Every structure is written in structure tokens, then in C-alpha cells.
């Protein structure tokens, strides 16, 4: 299992399908794009429901945050996340460490059925315990493309189909992450209150459990502590406000429940490795 994450597997690469691809034949699967490499330590991809591809990402390093279909998912090394075609989604990294990703964007005939299967079963992420086979297949496709770009639609399609079968197998082993009621209640309370001066003690009081017990259960199902989770939600919201509005940093701090401007500044800098104002000007320089 360890060997698959060997850095040699992940030298930066980006594949774009050739313009002329598309032979009019049925049943052929194509990748519009695929790639691997590190993303910056702060980045956010946000897409509307018009994104037409069935897309799979694997984290080979770092941890990330993924929103789709009204749910948030924390991701760790080895996990996969699946973008079902036609669903608005966001994925981002606010951890301060760069995020290693390998991914493929597929144009599949009948993909509504495929996306529908993942949506209906609420499978938007796959646990690292089950992703070895599809990840290895994707790495081998990328390696083969790097070594000698394959342009034969039939041969490529066989490789993509094999990847999809490995992915479906992983999905059938990795059921939807279902949370116990306590965790669902905690997530819902955080969702409603992370823009206010939310304290962990109030959260555990509200749920009638001890802070220690809440932290243990929450971490088991969500992958991190409630405190860290609230920080991620706040950082993400602050980043989106820095990117999309001209609100002052002070005002943005208030929007995530931090009424002391220097508190917000310290919090953001610690998390992201740079001050809010610097983050804003950096992102303005390189619009995506």
C-alpha cells in the first residue's frame, strides 16, 4: 500500500484530449483531461452545476475539503473524491500544506447512469483503504501516456473502462460515510453557527455530551476534531469573501465570528501561512 505513494509516481503532468478526438462511435470512453501534481497550499476550485464531466480525484498527499450535494467531506491521503456530472461542487485546501492530487475527467456515454449511481448511494468519497486498485490503474494510464502518448481511441477506452471497473469495485467496498446522530447534530450546529462566536464548550453543552467524548466520536467519523473542523469552515468562508468581495479584512473577520481584527489576522496567518491582505492580492494577481 505504501509503495503506491512513491513520489516518482506523481511528477507533474497534464493531459488534454486532442481537439479532433471523437470518432462518432458509440460506447467509447474518453478523458477530456487528466493530471497529477501538487496544488498550492491555498487554492479553491468552485464549479457550477454545468460542469459536465464525471471526475475522480485521489489525494496522494496532504488533506483537503470537498463540498458536494449539500455535504462537506474532509479528505486524507489516499482518499478519493468523486464529482458527479452536473453537480455544483467546491474542493479546496486550507491546511497550509500543499495538496497532492492525481485526477481524471471522463466523458462517458451514458454517464448520467453512472453519476446517478454514485449520487443515489451518496458515495462522493472513497476511503483510502479501498482506493489502491483504481489509483494504481490511473497512475499506470498516466505513465503510459507520458511514455508514449496513445492516440488509438479503442485502446485508451479499454484503459479508462478498466479504471471505472476498479472504481466501482472500490465503491461497492466503501459504503457511503454514514454518521451517528451525535455527529450529524454536531455538523448541523456548526453549519448554523460557525459565522458567530462559536465555542466548543457551547457545542458540547448543546449536545449534552462531554467535550472529550464529542471530540473522540467526531474525529472518528469526520477525520478531525470539532475545533479544527470549525477552523476549516471559517478559513474557507473567509477566503471566499477575500476572493469575491471587496469587504475589509476587519469585516470579514466579523463574518466568521472573530470580532477582534488582530485575532482574525493571527488566526488566518497561522492557518494559511500568509496574512489575509496578502492572500487577497496574490489571488487577484493570478486569477483562475
Between CA 121 and CA 243 the distance in angstroms is 34
Residues ≥6 apart with Cβ < 8 Å to 196: 257
Nearer to a second copy, 8 or 152 (CB): 152
Between CA 86 and CA 34 the distance in angstroms is 19
Query: Which residue in the set 59, 80, 135, 164 belongs to the binding site for a second copy (CB under 8 A)?
Result: 164
For residue 114, the minimal CB distance to a second copy (Å) is: 5
DSSP H stretches of helix in the chain: 111-120, 132-147, 153-173, 181-193, 200-207, 211-222, 226-244, 249-255, 261-272, 276-285
Query: Which residue in the set 154, 184, 281, 282 belongs to the binding site for a second copy (CB under 8 A)?
Result: 154
SS3 250: helix
For residue 128, the minimal CB distance to a second copy (Å) is: 20
End-to-end CA distance of the chain, in Å? 35
Query: Which residue in the set 1, 7, 12, 26 belongs to the binding site for a second copy (CB under 8 A)?
Result: 26
Query: Which residue in the set 162, 227, 255, 261 belongs to the binding site for a second copy (CB under 8 A)?
Result: 162
* Contacting a second copy within 93-132 (CB under 8 A): 109-110, 113-114, 116-117
Beta bridge partner(s), residue 72: 67
Residue 168 lies near a second copy (rule: CB under 8 A): yes
Beta bridge partner(s), residue 103: 35, 57
Nearer to a second copy, 158 or 216 (CB): 158
Query: Which residue in the set 40, 97, 150, 169 belongs to the binding site for a second copy (CB under 8 A)?
Result: 169
Chain residues binding a second copy by CB under 8 A are: 23, 25-28, 109-110, 113-114, 116-117, 154-155, 157-158, 161-162, 164-166, 168-169, 172
Amino acid at each position: 500500500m505504501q509503495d503506491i505513494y512513491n513520489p516518482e509516481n506523481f511528477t507533474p503532468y497534464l493531459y488534454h484530449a486532442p481537439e479532433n478526438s471523437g470518432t462518432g462511435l458509440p460506447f467509447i470512453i474518453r478523458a477530456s483531461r487528466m493530471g497529477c501534481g501538487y496544488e498550492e497550499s491555498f487554492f479553491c476550485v468552485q464549479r457550477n452545476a454545468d460542469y459536465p464531466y464525471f471526475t475522480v480525484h485521489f489525494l496522494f498527499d496532504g488533506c483537503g475539503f470537498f463540498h458536494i450535494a449539500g455535504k462537506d467531506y474532509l479528505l486524507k491521503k489516499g482518499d478519493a473524491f468523486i464529482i458527479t456530472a452536473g453537480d455544483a461542487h467546491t474542493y479546496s485546501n486550507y491546511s497550509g500544506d500543499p495538496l497532492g492530487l492525481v485526477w481524471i475527467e471522463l466523458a462517458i456515454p451514458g454517464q448520467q447512469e453512472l453519476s446517478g449511481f454514485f449520487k443515489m448511494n451518496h458515495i462522493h468519497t472513497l476511503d483510502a483503504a479501498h482506493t489502491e486498485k483504481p489509483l494504481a490503474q490511473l497512475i499506470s494510464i498516466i505513465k503510459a501516456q507520458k511514455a508514449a502518448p496513445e492516440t488509438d481511441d479503442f485502446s485508451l477506452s479499454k484503459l479508462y473502462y478498466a479504471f471505472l471497473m476498479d472504481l466501482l469495485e472500490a465503491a461497492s467496498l466503501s459504503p457511503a460515510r454514514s454518521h451517528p446522530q451525535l455527529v450529524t447534530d454536531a455538523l448541523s450546529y456548526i453549519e448554523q453557527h460557525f459565522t458567530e462566536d462559536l465555542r466548543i464548550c457551547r457545542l458540547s453543552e448543546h449536545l449534552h455530551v462531554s467535550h472529550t467524548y464529542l471530540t473522540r466520536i467526531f474525529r472518528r467519523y469526520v477525520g478531525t476534531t470539532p475545533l479544527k473542523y470549525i477552523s476549516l469552515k471559517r478559513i474557507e468562508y473567509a477566503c471566499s469573501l477575500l476572493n469575491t468581495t471587496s469587504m475589509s479584512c476587519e469585516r470579514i473577520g466579523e463574518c466568521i465570528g472573530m470580532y477582534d481584527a488582530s485575532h482574525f489576522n493571527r488566526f488566518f496567518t497561522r492557518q494559511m501561512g500568509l496574512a489575509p491582505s496578502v492572500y487577497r492580492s496574490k489571488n487577484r494577481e493570478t486569477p483562475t
